Amino acid sequence: QPGTMIEWGNNWARAIKYRQENQEAGGGVFSQIGELYVVHHLWAYRDLQSREETRNAAWRKRGWDENVYYT
């Protein structure tokens, strides 16, 4: 069952905090035009190596998996 936009926003805010530890630029965009509430997550990485390191580090953090599930 879908949640509310407020719930999604709160989970997204927590996700940003996890990822900011690596000084990573990111953003999220959703639209109410076309297919409703499809979210696109945008992350900026220096290169493919930093992408792999950053993503792996996020998965090792406690609570990241739950955050991903709800966003």
pLDDT digits (tens, 9 = 90+) for 13-53: 887 777 776 666 666 666 677 776 677 777 778 889 988 98
Q: Which two tokens stand for residue 23?
A: 């000084």
The CA distance from 26 to 4, in Å, is 22
The CA distance from 55 to 3, in Å, is 26
Token match 């792999």: residue?
Answer: 52
How do the domains of the chain map onto residue ranges? 4-69
Specify the pLDDT at position 28: 67
Specify the pLDDT at position 42: 76
Residue 6: pLDDT band with limits 50, 70, 90: confident
Taking the mean position of all CA atoms in its chain, how far away is CA 67? 8
Residue 61: pLDDT band with limits 50, 70, 90: confident
